[in-house]
Amino acid sequence: MNIDLKGKKAIVTGGTGQLGRCIVRSLAECGADVAIHYHSNRAKADELVDELKAMGRNAGAFQADITNEQSIYAMRDKIYAEFGKPDIIINNAVIQYQWKSVLEQDVADYFSQFESCVMHNVYMNKAFVPHLIEQQYGRIVVMNTECSALAEANCSAYVAGKRGLDGLVRSLAKEIGKFNITVNQVAPGWTISENDRLEHREVQPEYDKTVPLGHRGTDQDIANMVCFLASDLAAFTTGAYIPVSGGRVMPAI
């Protein structure tokens, strides 16, 4: 059994980030053409486009501010004109900020997380879902986090944004399931990415001992789940929050 995305078009927001680039490459390896969203890293976006074209895939780089509705609509129009209409929507982008306690956290950080977690997804849905409804098919995969389930100290802005996202996408899954569109969340743990490998910090003893499997997961572990949910192998799975955290989060029934 293989994950086959041949003939499908995908868009990945935050496609040039540490996790995003692994998702982009993995979708392409499964056969999908990929529109790569970036905010400011045009050089990495162009590099990924060249990689994907060398694999025989169609690819393009598209800029947008994911917290701005009109910017996303402008990106959509450019994607439709130059790349085609995506069947797979991967909402991965998020604003980074410095984590502090609730009492010390800048109020602006709560707004930024709401914008990049909740409104980012609202805008992407409004822009791209009408086509999925029209064609009676689609896959939406949203990046959440183990933090939203654990709600540990010093990450309240992130947790608040991601919990808001959870409510949004669960409602969406119920609204558009009748159109053969699935909506699912992938919730990574603290993930090993390219920067970790370059700086030899894959092992984090204090964190690792809290993971039932005994170690951190990799960006490829996350991308594998994204590709599965983007495929027809997951055609009867929707509204799910799926941790990829080595057992650190185990949702109860």
> How is the chain split into domains, by residue range?
9-244
Which residues, other chains included, contact 206 with Cβ-Cβ below 8 Å and sequence gap of 6+? none
Per-residue pLDDT tens listing for the chain (253 residues): 899 999 999 999 999 999 999 999 999 999 999 999 999 999 999 999 999 999 999 999 999 999 999 999 999 999 999 999 999 999 999 999 999 999 999 999 999 999 999 999 999 999 999 999 999 999 999 999 999 999 999 999 999 999 999 999 999 999 999 999 999 999 999 999 999 999 999 999 999 999 999 999 999 999 999 999 999 999 999 999 999 999 999 998 8
Give the Å distances, CA to CA, from 3 to 26, 30, 38. 10, 6, 26
CATH of domain 9-244: 3.40.50.720
pTM for this prediction: 0.96
pLDDT of 241? 98
| Strand residues in 64-101 grouped as ranges (E) | 88-91
The residue among 170, 81, 174, 176 whose CA lies nearest residue 126 is 176
